[in-house]
Amino acid sequence: MLYRLKSNDIDYLSLVYDDEEVIEKLGEENLIQIECDPREYAPIWQKLSVRFEPALGGKSDKPIPDLQVHSGHLFFSEKALKSLKGIIEPHGELLPVMYSSENEASKEGAIFNPLKVVSANEKISTKDSFGEVASLFFDTEEVIFKTDFDDYFGVYCSKEFRQLVSEADLSGLVLSKDLSSDFTSNKSALHQ
């Protein structure tokens, strides 16, 4: 069983990069905050400071999530790093960041850059007339990965990863069985 990772932006603050800091430290050609492709950042990485702010003018008293999807990458809090580091390291890069919010002091976390790419089964995966993914299927299962079928925007995971997120009581994600959707209507999805 595979799941699409989605952020719970209703109950948690949202990750925000400082664009000037990204350009200064990584260069204009490495805009991790908007680039989804599976490129390696580790050789040039310098620790960034990221902030968590309310999405769309929401309340600032919401907590920072343990996990959050952002442009094909995954934010990891200190707690999430301790719980999941071993299972995800073989599938991408853990890029250190300092994170904070208006209500929480700076802590060490990471941005996980998934480098494992799995091709969609293009015989049964489809796109609509606007080029948006309408249905998505895979012939293989990996712990955590991206696909070129959705231009590397989505992050997908296995049942094993989902189980570890649940056991560690990590917050911030909605894991949907509907791999093609950005919005879940699946009542059995894991809401954290």
pLDDT tens-digit series, residues 45-81: 999 999 999 887 667 789 999 999 998 999 999 999 9
Give the pLDDT of residue 98: 97
Q: Which of 57-61, 109-113, 179-183 has the highest mean pLDDT?
A: 109-113
Give the pLDDT of residue 37: 84
Give the pLDDT of residue 189: 45
Asked whether the predicted pLDDT for residue 186 surpasses 80, the reply is no
- Global confidence as pTM: 0.88
Give the pLDDT of residue 192: 46
Asked whether the predicted pLDDT for residue 20 surpasses 60, the reply is yes
Annotate the chain with three-state secondary structure.
CEEEEEECCCCCCEEEECHHHHHHHHCCCCCCCCCCCCCCCHHHCCCEEEEEECHHHCCCCCCCCCEEEECCEEEECHHHHHHHHHHHHHHEEEEEEEEEECCCCCEEEEEEEECCECCECCCCCEECCCCCEEECCECCCCCEEECHHHCCCCEEEEHHHHHHHHHCCCCCEEEECCCCCCCCCCCCCEEC
pLDDT tens-digit series, residues 121-131: 989 988 888 88
Q: What are the residue boundaries of the structural domains of the chain, listed by start?
A: 2-191
pLDDT band (50, 70, 90) for residue 35: confident
- Summary mean pLDDT of the chain: 88
